[in-house]
Amino acid sequence: MRVNLVLTGFGVVGREFVRLLQEKHRFLRRAYELDFRLVAVGGRGGFITSEDGLDLKILGDAEPGSDSLETFSKNSGLPLMSTFDQADALIEATPTDTDSGEPGFGYIMKAIHHQMDIVAISKGALVRHYDTIFTAADANQVKLKFSGATAAALPTLDIGQISLAGSEIVSIEGILNGTSNYILSSMQREQVSFEEALKAAQHQGIAEANPRLDVEGIDSACKILLLANSLLGSRLSLSDVTVTGIVGVSSEDIIEASAQGKKMKLLARAYKQDGTVRVEVGPSMIGSDHLLSSVDGTNKGIVFRTDTMGDVGAVGGSSSPRGAAAAALKDLIHLYHTT
């Protein structure tokens, strides 16, 4: 089965998705009978398009960013277009903007109008316009998956939607940001300050030059919000989430946690209370009896509390562009592979 794809956003995750398409092309045809063809890629300067499919090798070897798309356009003779034509599915991987949700929101709504299925990696549009997007998708019979936006390679949505079917999820608790977890782990293991741990993380490429979304808890808040709205039936917005990051965590806090035989973690929680769903993010001390106590470094983890299956958890999942791209590929397979 041939599936024509449009990719919006050619950053590190978008390029990694292109690389995965090339690397796994034969495997996907053999294992799932799926032939994914990338027919358009868009960036800041426009879209390069080809009905026959773009050259994945050239794109995969290029530097991430819109400049590479412009170079590809010049070298291939394919003009940059202002938008994309109809295809089977959109992979939305533009930078996350939690204020407006753009440009991802515009791309998603255009795809829905064209009755294209959607795999969202970027969180901004879903966080800001969840109801609008899903109402339009339902009206146009469009399928939408977004596991890459809810902790990348860690299968959070898959567990909640598939593995726990028939159970009521009472609460969700997770370590959903690998950068913050690495910083807290370093502070405890190496007995350094937040500032020292952050600089080390930046030097190793684990933290961005501007790590605000990670260390202020915003990235975790977006992920747990999407999980709550999808799995707990809420319709909350980012302003409904109580968020405290790790910027204020001191060496004294870490020492106190260690003295109690505990670890400091940035926990994202969603739970039902008095008929409503509450969502919060903040640093907490957890003991060795907690299912997430062993989640250190850049690893992530999640625990679902249910009415019939008890506590169910998962840990790991690469905190990397490849992990996020792999989550998008998994979503695509689930959209089109029938057993």
Kindly state the tokens that stand for 243.
């968020």
For helices 251-259 and 178-190, give the axis angle rounded to 10 degrees. Answer: 70
Give 2-153+322-336's CATH code, choosing from 1.10.10.60, 3.20.20.140, 3.30.365.10, 3.40.50.720: 3.40.50.720
Residue 285 burial (CB < 10 Å; 0-12/13-18/19+)?
middle
Residue-range domain boundaries for the chain:
2-153+322-336, 157-317
pLDDT tens digit sequence for 30-75:
999 999 999 999 999 999 999 999 999 999 999 999 999 999 999 9
Third-level CATH fold of 157-317? Dihydrodipicolinate Reductase; domain 2 (3.30.360)
The residues carrying an active-site annotation are: 223
Q: For residue 303, what pLDDT is reported?
A: 97
Give the separation between CA 12 and CA 89, rounded to whole angstroms.
20
Give how far Cα 77 sits from Cα of 39, 42, 158, Å.
15, 16, 41
Q: For residue 318, what pLDDT is reported?
A: 67
> Which pTM was predicted?
0.92
* Residue % of the chain over a pLDDT of 70: 99
pLDDT tens digit sequence for 127-183:
999 999 999 999 999 999 999 999 888 999 999 999 999 999 999 999 999 999 999
Give how far Cα 148 sits from Cα of 71, 172, 331, Å.
28, 17, 8
Angle at the Cα of 122 from the Cα atoms of 217 and 231, rounded to 5 degrees: 70
- Judged against a pLDDT cut of 90, whether residue 319 lies above it is answered with no
- Do residues 86 and 3 make contact, with C-beta atoms less than 8 angstroms apart? no
